[in-house]
Amino acid sequence: MVNVLLAKHAEKSLRKLPLSAQKKISKAIDKLIKNPLTGEKLKGEFEGQYKLYTWPYRVIYIFSAAEKLVTIVEIEHRQGAYK
């Protein structure tokens, strides 16, 4: 079991989404609590981060095994998630 921390930007992005998308993303975050390595590792400038698909949104997060902490950095629509 891990703790989840939402960065301010991610929290703000989540509140702006429609309620149905918020519910979907909340379920995805619940999956992260059970298994933080559920997401796919990112490469390049996003090295060390993971992505989790919740169509059509991406949850970008960092997992610290030592601290047992998942920090959600960004929640964006798939078209703008990596810009």
Kindly tell me if the per-residue pLDDT of 5 is higher than 70: yes
Q: What is the pLDDT of residues 10-66, one digit of tens each?
A: 999 999 999 999 999 999 999 999 999 999 999 999 999 999 999 899 999 999 999
> DSSP class of residue 7?
-
At which residue do the structure tokens 């601290």 appear? 67
At which residue do the structure tokens 């996003």 appear? 46
CATH annotation of 3-77: 3.30.2310.20
**In which element (H, E) is residue 34 found?**
helix 19-34
- The predicted pLDDT at position 35 comes to 94
- The predicted pLDDT at position 83 comes to 64
Cis peptide before 56 (omega within 30 of 0): yes
Separation between Cα atoms, residue 37 and residue 17, nearest integer Å:
25
Q: Domain coordinates of the chain in residue numbers?
A: 3-77
